[in-house]
Amino acid sequence: MFVLKKMASTLSQPILYSADWAPNQLVNDLFDRKIQFQFTGNLFCQVCTKNTKKFFGEGFCYTCFMASSQAAPCILRPELCKGHLGEGRDLVWEEKNHNQPHIVYLAQSDSVKVGVTRLTQVPTRWIDQGAKSAIYFAETPNRFEAGVLEVALKSFFTDKTNYKKMLQNDIDESIDLIEEKWNVVDQLPLDLQTYVSENDAITQLNYPVSKYPTHPNLINLEKVGTFEGLVTGIKGQYLLFEGDFALNIRRHTGYEVKISF
């Protein structure tokens, strides 16, 4: 039995994936093999690890959803972060994770996406969202400042990922991230311009996929109970299967499963 959590990734050509449910091998090595996921019905909170009847947010029991820093509103809305003020649900956690250098970035997909991540999470965050390429827009001293800058950039770029287009590998190849970056800098408030990074290096992300789905069909283990399919690739945190099926591993964080190869 395994309790699912997001796959670990390593930037390579192509990207390498690993998971505790695929011991002694890369998830990449499971291509063209059948895998069966059988949900046991047990849900375990990703923070306290207690068995819970229902999840709130992404893999939290109700108590942790309401009290844990990992489920705080500023996870989804960085501009609400108060870690830099010495405030938050867990001050030690805030200091370690939010009162640290953050990157505001632009990513290429079917459009230009703006996002925020802790500096130490580059390029993991870009891989997890399935971006084709990404570039630093700015570096800030904490999560709050990154969030304020992201809000300003939402006037020019989206902060949402269209998962269907991402899984279909629907990429706008005309996007020039360097041009997109410098076209908007002068339109930002002067205090935010001071954070803009001079680093224009573009990170290219190549996913291990033999066939992209035409009409992605997402698997919900809570509904189907058991799923078996032939692996055709990995993109972001999705396992792709023959027949246009896709399993979002991260979405199933905390699900106890029995896995057969």
Same domain? 199 vs 84: yes
Does any domain span residue 235?
yes
Same domain? 88 vs 198: yes
Q: What is the pLDDT of residue 23?
A: 85
SS3 202: strand
Residues 6+ apart with CB under 8 A from 210: 31, 32, 232, 233
* CA 141 vs CA 83, 190, 210: distances in Å: 11, 17, 40
User: How many domains would you assign to the chain?
Assistant: 2
Same domain? 140 vs 177: yes
Does any domain span residue 158?
yes
Q: What is the pLDDT of residue 26?
A: 95
Q: What is the pLDDT of residue 35?
A: 95
Same domain? 192 vs 235: no
158-194 pLDDT tens trace: 999 999 999 999 999 999 999 999 999 999 999 999 9
143-161 pLDDT tens trace: 999 999 999 999 999 999 9
For the segment 71-94, the average pLDDT, to the nearest whole number, is 94
The tokens describing 101, both together, are: 């250098």
* CA 43 vs CA 4, 54, 77, 247, 255: distances in Å: 10, 7, 26, 17, 5
Signed CA dihedral, 68, 71, 75, 77: sign only = negative
Q: Has this prediction a pTM greater than 0.95?
A: no
SS3 161: coil
For the segment 202-220, the average pLDDT, to the nearest whole number, is 96
29-67 pLDDT tens trace: 999 999 999 999 999 999 999 999 999 988 999 999 999
Same domain? 118 vs 218: no
Same domain? 20 vs 120: no
Residue 222 domain boundaries: 2-44+209-260
- Per 3-state DSSP, what percentage of the chain is helix, strand, and coil (rounded to 5)? 30, 30, 40
Closest among 75, 76, 52 to 63, alpha carbons compared: 52
102-128 pLDDT tens trace: 999 999 999 999 999 999 999 999 999
SS3 169: coil
Q: What is the pLDDT of residue 216?
A: 95
Same domain? 105 vs 214: no
232-253 pLDDT tens trace: 999 999 999 999 999 999 999 9
Which of the four pLDDT bands, split at 50, 70 and 90, describes residue 195? very high
Same domain? 105 vs 194: yes
Does any domain span residue 174?
yes
**Structural domain ending residue among the three candidates 171, 189, 204:** 204
Same domain? 241 vs 198: no
Does any domain span residue 67?
no
Same domain? 32 vs 88: no
Q: What is the pLDDT of residue 233?
A: 96
SS3 118: strand
Q: What is the pLDDT of residue 120?
A: 97
Same domain? 90 vs 199: yes
Q: What is the pLDDT of residue 24?
A: 84
